[in-house]
Amino acid sequence: MRLVIIGADAAGMSAASRIKRRRPDWEVRVFEKTGDVSYSACGMPYNIADPGRDMDDLVVRRAEVFRDKQGIDLRTGHEVLGIDRFARRVFGKTASGHAFEDSYDRLILATGALPVLPDLPGTGLPGVMTLKSLEDGRRIKVFLQEQGVSSAVIIGMGYIALEMCEALCARGIRVEMVKPRPAFLPWMPSEMAAVVREELETQGVRLHLGVEIRGIEARDGHLEVACADRHLPADLVLVAVGVRPNSDLAAKAGLQLGAAEAVAVDRTMRTSDPAIYAAGDCADAFHVVTGQRVWIPLALRANRGGWAAADHLAGASASLQGVAGTAVFKVMRLEVARTGLDRAQAERAGFDPVEVVIRSRSRAHGHPGNRPIWVQMVADRASGRLLGAQLVGEEGAAHRVNAAAVALHRHMTVAQFSQCDLAYAPPFGPVWDPLLTAANQLLKQASG
Amino acid sequence: MRLVIIGADAAGMSAASRIKRRRPDWEVRVFEKTGDVSYSACGMPYNIADPGRDMDDLVVRRAEVFRDKQGIDLRTGHEVLGIDRFARRVFGKTASGHAFEDSYDRLILATGALPVLPDLPGTGLPGVMTLKSLEDGRRIKVFLQEQGVSSAVIIGMGYIALEMCEALCARGIRVEMVKPRPAFLPWMPSEMAAVVREELETQGVRLHLGVEIRGIEARDGHLEVACADRHLPADLVLVAVGVRPNSDLAAKAGLQLGAAEAVAVDRTMRTSDPAIYAAGDCADAFHVVTGQRVWIPLALRANRGGWAAADHLAGASASLQGVAGTAVFKVMRLEVARTGLDRAQAERAGFDPVEVVIRSRSRAHGHPGNRPIWVQMVADRASGRLLGAQLVGEEGAAHRVNAAAVALHRHMTVAQFSQCDLAYAPPFGPVWDPLLTAANQLLKQASG
Interface membership of B43 toward A (CB under 8 Å): yes
In this predicted structure, what is the pLDDT of residue B448? Answer: 58
Instruction: Return the SS3 of B408.
Output: helix
Q: How far apart, in Å, are the Cα atoms of A441 and each of A109, A175, A417, B340?
A: 45, 39, 12, 27
Predicted TM-score (pTM) of the model is 0.97
Mean pLDDT along residues B178-183: 97
Other C-beta atoms lying within 10 Å of the C-beta of residue B134: 23
Count how many residues are written for chain B. Answer: 448
As a whole number, the mean pLDDT across chain B is 97
Interface membership of B327 toward A (CB under 8 Å): yes
**Number of continuous H segments (helices) and E segments (strands) in chain B:** 12, 25
Mean pLDDT along residues B112-118: 95
Residue A120 pLDDT greater than 70, yes or no? yes
Interface membership of A50 toward B (CB under 8 Å): yes
Residue A447 pLDDT greater than 80, yes or no? no
H helix or E strand, kind and range, residue A13: helix A10-22
Q: Is B227 a catalytic residue?
A: no
**Number of continuous H segments (helices) and E segments (strands) in chain A:** 12, 25
As a whole number, the mean pLDDT across chain A is 97
The string of pLDDT tens digits covering residues B347-372 is 999 999 999 999 999 999 889 999 99
Cβ contact, residue pair B422, A400, below 8 Å: no
CA A163 vs. chain centroid, Å, equals 12
In this predicted structure, what is the pLDDT of residue A221? Answer: 87
Strands of A213-219's sheet in order across: A213-219, A222-227, A231-234
Residue B46 confidence class, pLDDT cut points 50, 70, 90: very high
Instruction: Return the SS3 of A369.
Output: coil
**CA–CA min distance A300, chain B (Å):** 5
Residue B173 confidence class, pLDDT cut points 50, 70, 90: very high
Residue B375 pLDDT greater than 90, yes or no? yes
Amino acid in position B37 = V
Q: Which residues contact B70 (CB under 8 A, 6 or more apart)?
A: B16, B17, B20
Handedness of CA B308, B309, B315, B320 (dihedral sign): positive
Mean pLDDT along residues A383-412: 98
Side-chain-side CA neighbours of residue A404 (13 Å): 35
φ/ψ of residue B412, rounded to 5: -75, 150
- B366 → closest Cβ in A58, A300, A420: A58
User: What is the Cα–Cα distance from A295 to A280, expressed in whole angstroms?
Assistant: 10
Side-chain-side CA neighbours of residue A255 (13 Å): 33
Cβ proximity of B177 and B153 under 8 Å: yes
User: What is the Cα–Cα distance from B408 to B401, expressed in whole angstroms?
Assistant: 11
**CA–CA min distance B21, chain A (Å):** 13
In this predicted structure, what is the pLDDT of residue B318? Answer: 84
% pLDDT > 70, chain B: 100
Count how many residues are written for chain A. Answer: 448
Interface membership of A85 toward B (CB under 8 Å): no
CA-based max dimension of chain B: 70
- B422 → closest Cβ in A40, A326, A396: A326
- B423 → closest Cβ in A58, A288, A402: A402
Which chain B positions have a beta carbon within 8 Å of A403's beta carbon? 399, 402-403, 405-406
Other C-beta atoms lying within 10 Å of the C-beta of residue A160: 24
In this predicted structure, what is the pLDDT of residue B446? Answer: 78
Cβ proximity of B376 and B438 under 8 Å: yes
Cβ proximity of A76 and A59 under 8 Å: no
Q: Which residues contact A415 (CB under 8 A, 6 or more apart)?
A: A384, A443
**CA–CA min distance B7, chain A (Å):** 19
Residue A366 confidence class, pLDDT cut points 50, 70, 90: confident
φ/ψ of residue A221, rounded to 5: 80, 0
Cβ contact, residue pair A328, B425, below 8 Å: yes
Cβ proximity of B304 and A437 under 8 Å: no
Residue A194 pLDDT greater than 70, yes or no? yes
- A401-415 burial, b at 16+ Cβ within 10 Å, e below that, comes to bbbbbbbbbbebbbb
Cβ proximity of A45 and A132 under 8 Å: no
Mean pLDDT along residues A227-243: 97
The string of pLDDT tens digits covering residues A430-440 is 999 999 999 99
Other C-beta atoms lying within 10 Å of the C-beta of residue A368: 11
Mean pLDDT along residues A283-293: 98
Annotated catalytic residue: which of B42, B165, B282, B420? B42
In this predicted structure, what is the pLDDT of residue A322? Answer: 96
Q: Across the A/B interface, how many CB contacts are shorter than 8 Å?
A: 218
Mutate which: B370, B394, B421, B432, vs A, most A CBs within 10 A? B421
Which chain A positions have a beta carbon within 8 Å of B322's beta carbon? 421
Interface membership of B53 toward A (CB under 8 Å): yes
Question: Which position has the higher pLDDT, B317 or B146?
Answer: B146
Cβ contact, residue pair A60, B365, below 8 Å: yes
Residue A448 confidence class, pLDDT cut points 50, 70, 90: low
Residue B66 pLDDT greater than 70, yes or no? yes
In this predicted structure, what is the pLDDT of residue A217? Answer: 97
Beta pairing, strands A231-234 & A222-227? antiparallel
φ/ψ of residue B149, rounded to 5: -65, 125
User: What is the Cα–Cα distance from A354 to B375, expressed in whole angstroms?
Assistant: 36
User: What is the Cα–Cα distance from A253 to A256, expressed in whole angstroms?
Assistant: 9
Interface membership of A43 toward B (CB under 8 Å): yes
Instruction: Return the SS3 of A91.
Output: strand
**CA–CA min distance A161, chain B (Å):** 14
* CA-based nearest residue to B374, from B344, B342, B335: B335
Which chain A positions have a beta carbon within 8 Å of B412's beta carbon? 406, 410
Strands of B222-227's sheet in order across: B213-219, B222-227, B231-234
User: What is the Cα–Cα distance from A431 to B298, expressed in whole angstroms?
Assistant: 9
Cβ proximity of B211 and B179 under 8 Å: yes
% pLDDT > 70, chain A: 100
Which spans in B33-124 are helix H?
44-48, 63-64
Cβ proximity of B429 and B364 under 8 Å: yes
Which chain A positions have a beta carbon within 8 Å of B399's beta carbon? 396, 398-400, 402-403, 423, 428-429
The 3-class SS string of B251-276 reads: HHCCCCECHHHCECCCCCCECCCCCE
In this predicted structure, what is the pLDDT of residue A95? Answer: 96
Specify which residues A270 forms β-bridges with: A277
Beta pairing, strands B372-380 & B353-361? antiparallel
φ/ψ of residue B57, rounded to 5: -55, -25
Handedness of CA B244, B250, B254, B257 (dihedral sign): negative
User: What is the Cα–Cα distance from A448 to A354, expressed in whole angstroms?
Assistant: 11
In this predicted structure, what is the pLDDT of residue A65? Answer: 94
Cβ contact, residue pair B423, A303, below 8 Å: no
Closest-approach residue (CA) in chain B for A333 = B427
Check residue B261 and report its DSSP letter.
Answer: G
Interface membership of A82 toward B (CB under 8 Å): no
Cβ contact, residue pair A299, B424, below 8 Å: yes
Within B292-395, strands assigned E span 293-294, 327-331, 334-340, 353-361, 372-380, 386-393
In this predicted structure, what is the pLDDT of residue B198? Answer: 98
H helix or E strand, kind and range, residue A85: none
Amino acid in position B272 = S
User: What is the Cα–Cα distance from B346 to B362, expressed in whole angstroms?
Assistant: 28
Residue A294 pLDDT greater than 70, yes or no? yes
Residue A239 pLDDT greater than 80, yes or no? yes
φ/ψ of residue B210, rounded to 5: 65, 35
